[in-house]
Amino acid sequence: MVSLQSLNTFGVKASCDELITVTSVAQLQELCLASQESTIILGGGSNTLFVNSPSTVWYIDIKGKEVIKEREDAILLRIGAGEDWHELVTYCIEQNWGGIENLALIPGKCGAGPIQNIGAYGVEIQHVLQSVSVVERSTGNRLEFHVTELGLGYRHSFFKGEWKDKYIIDSIVMRLTKDGHHEIKSHYGAIQNTLTEMDVKSPTIHDIYTAVVKIRSSKLPDPKEIGNGGSFFKNPIIPIGQYQELLVKYPEMPSYPIDDVTVKVPAGWLIDRAGWKGKQVGNVGSYAKQALVIVNHGGADGTEVLNYSKQIQESIMDLYGINLQREINVV
């Protein structure tokens, strides 16, 4: 048995019979051709909660960064699926390449970005993603999909739905700006207030990056210090009619418009107002600075974390009639 405790950011005890580190596309293709057994694909382990112990795990560690096309104002950058996401964001800022500065300090590997359509502070990876390269599990064939073919939505893609377990991402291509950076987004969430505190009036991508790192560091726990998987739940999207009914009882409930008929409600606000923020049950609790994050205070297993999350879901349904969906992948 091989321990997986150090390969998941919750730090829960888990193990597998066989762990294979995948460092190249060719190796990945060979593995797909040689094995059709049920295999768990693992990247940074930041979005995975192990409840059961899998038989075989492939740890995707395909590295590499390559500029494949360049113009005066933009580049196309290919990145290996095993590259650390935050390290990539930092690297791009150092090169003065813009587009992903709002996504700083998101844990995990680059290959997981399109699967989740990761996002923060008004930006999602779909805004810069050009294409993804994948290996088909049943044949070992390598394919490339344009961003428009991925079914990207709020924390969703075809990889989580109809393509689940069909493909393994080996690299992604992003289009990043080189000069001007006209699409800087500085007015979402706490960014503008933080920039004001920093005395920044005309922010650069470096300023946005610094502000986001400052915000996330202040309210999100470091997995190296306390086990967690970041945001455990998605922000629910509900009909405007339901939101207006809830405002009668909860007039301070915030929302963000999605379209003419739906709004997004912050899950953290719902969980906080329901009394879960800072609460602890056994070895598991909700982080004191951000109710959306479930933490392992030490010694928790995956089942304990999952059961705690179910209690929160039941509480939110009872109070608001809103179904919280997990952002975390449960194995």
State the pLDDT at residue 149.
Answer: 96
pLDDT of 79: 98
Angle made by CA atoms 131, 164, 99, in degrees to the nearest 5: 30
Tokens representing 191 are 């960014």
**Burial letters 211-220, b for 16+ CB under 10 A, else e:** bbbbbbeeeb
Catalytic residues: 155, 231, 327
Contacts for 237 with CB less than 8 Å, ≥ 6 apart: 154, 258, 262, 263, 264, 265
Show the tokens assigned to 62: 């395909």
DSSP single-letter state for residue 317: H
pLDDT of residue 36: 63
Please report, as a single letter, which amino acid is at residue 278: G
pLDDT in tens, the chain (331 residues): 889 988 899 989 889 889 999 999 999 999 998 876 778 888 878 888 999 888 899 999 999 999 999 998 899 999 999 999 999 999 999 999 999 999 999 988 999 999 989 998 889 999 999 999 999 999 999 999 999 999 998 888 999 889 988 999 999 999 999 976 667 887 777 888 899 889 888 899 999 999 999 999 888 888 888 999 888 999 999 999 999 999 999 999 999 888 889 999 999 999 999 999 999 999 999 999 999 999 999 889 999 999 999 999 999 999 999 999 998 888 8
Phi, psi at 256, each rounded to 5°: -130, 125
Q: What is the pLDDT of residue 54?
A: 85
Answer for the pair 58, 20: CB distance below 8 angstroms, yes or no: yes
142, exposed or middle or buried, with CB in 10 Å at 0-12, 13-18, 19+?
A: middle
The H-assigned helical ranges of 78-143 are 85-94, 112-116
pLDDT at residue 331, rounded to an integer: 87
